Amino acid sequence: MQRYLDACVRADLNKKMVILTGPRQVGKTTLSRQLLSEFKDAQYFNYDVPEHRAVLENRTWNKKSTLLVFDEIHKMRQWKPWLKGVFDGRTDGQSLLVTGSARMDTFRQSGESLAGRYYKLRLHPISVREWCEQTGAAPEDALSHLLQRGGFPEPCLADTDEEAARWRAEYFSDLVREDVLEFSRLQEITTMRLFAELLRSRVGSPLSLASMGRDLAISPGTLKKYLDILEALFIVFTVRPWHRNIARATLQAPKVYFYDTGLVKGDDGVRFENFMACSLLKHVEWQQDALGKEAGLHYIRTKDGAEVDFALSHGDTLTDLVECKLSDAKPHRALLRFAGEWPQARASQVLRGLSHAMDVGPLQIREAAGWLMELSA
């Protein structure tokens, strides 16, 4: 299956090294292997494979290769200066593609900077727009399928719902058991698993680490570290409240969502909100990575409890206000209020089911499938 980043990766490889990150099993290796056939003498190396590791450490790959793909290279000690040396010493016409499932800029690495040598791209799960473009499905059918299966390629393309469910159970277990060891200690895995399990039922609500810490008998500081690890492994992502002062926004409670909507525990409304969050994050990070825009994803909540699910920004200006509903077409009171406070922002009430689009004052009330098709990726 072709992915939405294919053309961008090809174009960027002609200019700089490309660092491609994203959740495990989101399709990075498949994308990389598909590119191999397009380059002369291309080679793929995974640091987790002992034979490949020896080649990487000794730099004994084919010097005439026009494409080198390095997977999970962040697990190498001092990988940044090593990669800088490889890039600076590569032969003419040789392209480098580096992939990894953990956020490569979060690892506490010292040494040389890679500044100016790479383009960063983040691969996301399949969205409504991508599924429609690749399969020819109608937007409504695409949305139903993705809400059922999630956007990761293997369960999305599975023959049956049972196969998808088996994949997901193993995926979540392996993520917590194996990948956490890259960041943490063996004895923390049980606690980390319990924390991740609790997060599955707290999607879409402002997260109180102090409250969860009391429930788990763990300090909020430790839970903050665990949350950082889950983010670094692309298991969850956080959406923080909108505020022009970044420091103030950081101090306020984030909302947590899962990259895999299938992991969410909750009713249809919660799962729909999580899918919307994933779609908006993909839209925003495409704008950041491929277009160089200063885009952001937030939510809005005031001290008196008024809240809108999502807000999109460009620089210090709000561009969109988005409220998610399953079927309630009654204009959302907080969305109306904030649309008046930020008249430059498009205010959209997005419904899972809606017979026809409506405009009520400044509000655009739209059906989700069609609205999602308009996003960038």
Q: Domain extents for the chain?
A: 6-122, 128-373
Q: In what order do the strands lie in the sheet with 295-301?
A: 255-258, 236-241, 295-301, 307-314, 317-325, 346-351, 363-367, 358-360
Residue closest to 83 by CA, chosen among 74, 94, 93: 74
For the segment 298-320, the average pLDDT, to the nearest whole number, is 93
48 token code pair: 């987790």
| Residues 247, 266: Cα–Cα separation, whole Å | 31
Task: Tell me the pLDDT tens digit for each residue of 32-66.
Answer: 999 999 999 999 999 999 999 999 999 999 999 99
Residue 308 has pLDDT above 50, yes or no: yes
Please say if the pLDDT value at position 182 is more than 70: no
pLDDT per position as a tens digit, 247-289: 555 558 899 999 999 999 999 999 999 999 999 999 999 999 9
**Average model confidence (pLDDT) for the chain?**
90
Domain boundaries 6-122, corresponding CATH code: 3.40.50.300
pLDDT of residue 343: 95
Distance between CA atoms of residues 46 and 214, nearest Å: 41
Sheet holding 118-122, edge to edge: 43-46, 67-71, 95-100, 17-21, 118-122
Can you give the pTM of this predicted structure? 0.92
pLDDT band at 77 (very low <50, low <70, confident <90, very high): confident
